[in-house]
């Protein structure tokens, strides 16, 4: 069974650093991309970017480029989202999700985020 388990809620002060995690199980971790999605309180979904679990290759949304960093530890099937200096406006729920796909005759296509973690609530307040 595919599962994505995210780290627990965090309360931080502006300017502090933070790393949250997303541990995968039930599939070949290194063969899939992991995406990160932000949901501000009471708002919709925002795509932050994706990271390939096989080699940590990452693509960021311009809205988040330079403010967050994705990383992967293949040895423990875990993806990370980190901030070096949090802002109050980073207060949100953060979801990780697996980018599913299928291959036909050696050509592979994505099917969207087929498995999601439960989310990590990050609160940044002085």
Partner 1 sequence: DIVMTQTPLSLSVTPGQPASISCKSSESLLHTDGKTYFYWYLQKPGQSPQLLIYEVSKRLSGVPERFSGSGSGTDFTLKVSRVEAEDVGVYYCMQNTQLPWTFGQGTEVEIK
Q: How far is the CB of 103 from partner 1 (least distance, A)?
A: 13
d(C-alpha 34, C-alpha 29), whole Å: 9
How far from the centroid of its chain's Cα atoms is residue 43's Cα? 18
Q: How far is the CB of 14 from partner 1 (least distance, A)?
A: 26
Closest CB to partner 1 among 111 and 126?
Answer: 111
Closest CB to partner 1 among 41 and 111?
Answer: 111
How far from the centroid of its chain's Cα atoms is residue 34's Cα? 6
Closest CB to partner 1 among 55 and 114?
Answer: 114
Q: How far is the CB of 35 from partner 1 (least distance, A)?
A: 8
d(C-alpha 83, C-alpha 76), whole Å: 21
How far from the centroid of its chain's Cα atoms is residue 116's Cα? 10
**Residues forming the site for partner 1 (CB under 8 A):** 37, 44-47, 59, 61-63, 95, 97, 100, 107, 109-114, 116-119
d(C-alpha 26, C-alpha 77), whole Å: 10
d(C-alpha 68, C-alpha 85), whole Å: 9
Q: How far is the CB of 76 from partner 1 (least distance, A)?
A: 22
Closest CB to partner 1 among 108 and 126?
Answer: 108
């Amino acid at each position: 069974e595919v599962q994505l388990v995210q780290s627990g809620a965090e309360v931080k002060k502006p300017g502090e650093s933070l790393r949250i995690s997303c541990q995968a199980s039930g599939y070949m971790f290194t063969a899939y991309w992991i995406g990160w999605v932000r949901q501000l309180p009471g708002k919709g979904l925002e795509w932050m970017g994706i990271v390939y679990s096989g080699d940590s290759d990452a693509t960021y949304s311009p809205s988040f480029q330079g403010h967050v960093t994705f990383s992967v530890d293949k040895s423990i099937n875990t993806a990370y989202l980190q901030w070096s200096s949090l802002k109050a406006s980073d207060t949100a729920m953060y979801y990780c999700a697996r980018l599913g796909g299928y291959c036909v005759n050696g050509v592979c296509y994505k099917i969207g985020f087929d498995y999601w973690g439960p989310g990590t609530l990050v609160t940044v307040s002085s």
